[in-house]
Homo-oligomer: A and B are copies of this chain.
Amino acid sequence: MESFHLVSREYKPEDTVVTVGEVKIGGGHRAYIAGPCSVEDEKQIREIAEGIKGAAHILRGGAFKPRTSPYSFQGLGEAGLRLLKEAGQQVGLPVVTEVVSEQEVELVAGYVDMLQIGARNMQNYALLKKVGAQSKPVLLKRGLAATIEEFLLSAEYILAAGNSQVVLCERGIRTFSGSPTRNTLDLSAVPILRHLTHLPVIVDPSHGTGLWNLVEPLSKAALAAGAHGLMIEVHNHPQEALSDGPQSLKPEKFRMLAGELNALAQFLDEQSAGGKAWKV
C-alpha cells in the first residue's frame, strides 16, 4: 500500500475517539446516526427526530443533495440546515449533514455538529482540504469504486490539513451484482480498516443495499464485523420520501432495531473481553 501516514496504526496505535456534540464514536464507543435522506419540511424532520429520540445518537438529514440528475430535488439548502439544527436541538441530538461545495463549508459548519463528505466527493481534494482546515468532525464516506488505500489517503488529506476528528463510513461499492441491491456492502472493509487505521469505522447499510428489509441483518453483521456504529436512513413516510424511500426504515422499526443492536453490541463486547487472549 501507498504511504498513508497520519491515519495509520503505526503512527497512532490506540483508537481515535471522535466527539460529535457530546456523543463519542470510536474505541469502546458505538453510535447510531439516523434520519432522512433529505430534510423536506419542518414537520417531516421534527417527526423523525422525535421518532428516533432515545434510540439514535446523532440526527442526519440532507440539505444540499448531490443528485445524479440536475433535474432531481437538490435539497432545501440553508433553510434545510436551519430545520435540521432546530430538530436536533428539540430532541437533544447533535446533527450531521453533507457538504458538497468548498464555498459552503463555513455556512454548513455554522449549523451542524459534523460535516459529511459523500461518496461522489471522496476524491474531491479541494473539498477535503477545506473540511480539514475547520474544526467540526468529519464523516467521510467511501467512494463507489474506491480501494481501501484510496479511502485512507482521502482521510489522510483531512488529517494533513489539521483535522484529526474523522469517522470512516463503508457504504457499498459498485460491482457487477447491482441487482437486486443498489451496491455491494463490503463488510470485509471493516476489519481491514480497523487493522490499518486508528480512526472509527461505521457502516451505512441503507445506501449499501438500497433495500430497507436488508438493513436489519446487515446492521447486525456490521457490528459483528467490528463496526463502531451505523448510519441508517429513517423516514416517517418512506413511500412519499423525496429521495431514497425504498431504503428507509420507519421510526418505530428503527427503535426496535436499535434495541436489538444494543443487546448484540453488549454481547459482542463481553465475548471480545473474554476471548482477547487468542486473538492477534
Contact = CB atoms under 8 A, between A and B. Distances in A.
Contacts of A161: 70
Interface string A55-74: 00000000000111111000
A126 B100 contact: yes
Contacts of A101: 102, 126
A221 to B, nearest CB: 4
Contacts of A156: 69-70
A81 to B, nearest CB: 16
Interface stretch (A19-27, A46-54, A178-186): A178-186
Contacts of A264: 224, 267-268, 271
A200 to B, nearest CB: 16
A55 to B, nearest CB: 13
Question: Range of interface residues on chain A?
Answer: 35 or more
Contacts of A224: 217, 220-221, 223-224, 264
Nearest to A205: B188
A213 interface: yes
A145 interface: yes
Given A100-B125, A188-B218, 9 more contacts: A70-B125, A145-B145, A147-B176, A173-B176, A176-B178, A188-B208, A195-B213, A213-B280, A221-B221
Interface of A: 1-5, 66-71, 100-104, 120-121, 123-127, 144-145, 147-150, 153, 156-157, 160-161, 173-181, 184-188, 190-192, 195, 208-209, 213-214, 216-218, 220-226, 252-253, 256, 260, 263-264, 267-268, 271, 275, 278-280
Nearest 8 Cβ contacts at the A-B interface = A145-B145, A101-B126, A120-B123, A220-B224, A221-B225, A221-B221, A224-B224, A191-B217
16 contacts: A68-B123, A70-B153, A100-B125, A100-B126, A103-B126, A173-B184, A174-B176, A176-B178, A178-B178, A184-B186, A184-B188, A218-B225, A221-B224, A260-B275, A263-B267, A264-B268
